[in-house]
Amino acid sequence: MSARVTGYARITDPGGMREHDTFTCAHCQRIIHVRTRADPASCGGLCKLCMGLVCPGCNARGKCDPWEKKMERAESRERFLRAAGLTE
């Protein structure tokens, strides 16, 4: 899991500083904290289609819909609506 982390979270309080690796769900972009020696299953899973790490919710959903594809759909819809004069 640690080879695929794409971020970190740092909490600083009067008791000191703690850091966790994080990854961003490849499907919904939710930030998942990876705690030391955590059961990998509790962090989510690996989508075997897009090979991205996904959050527990997207893992349970069991279908591959990467964030990049979602953005492309939203942007092409926006371009179509603009071309049709249906947005400001």
Based on the shown chain and the rule CB under 8 A, indicate whether residue 78 belongs to the binding site for another protein: yes
Angstrom distance (rounded) from CA 31 to CA 23: 6
Tokens of 37: 């020696």
State which of residues 3, 12, 62, 83 lies at the interface with another protein (CB under 8 A). 12
Based on the shown chain and the rule CB under 8 A, indicate whether residue 30 belongs to the binding site for another protein: yes
With residue 33 as reference, give the H or E element that holds it.
Answer: strand 31-34
Query: Which of 52, 44, 18, 20 is CA-nearest to residue 33?
Result: 20
| Residue the block writes with tokens 């499907």 | 27
Based on the shown chain and the rule CB under 8 A, indicate whether residue 75 belongs to the binding site for another protein: yes
Based on the shown chain and the rule CB under 8 A, indicate whether residue 22 belongs to the binding site for another protein: yes
Smallest distance from the beta carbon of 24 to another protein, in angstroms? 4
Q: How many residues in the shown chain lie near another protein by CB under 8 A?
A: 28
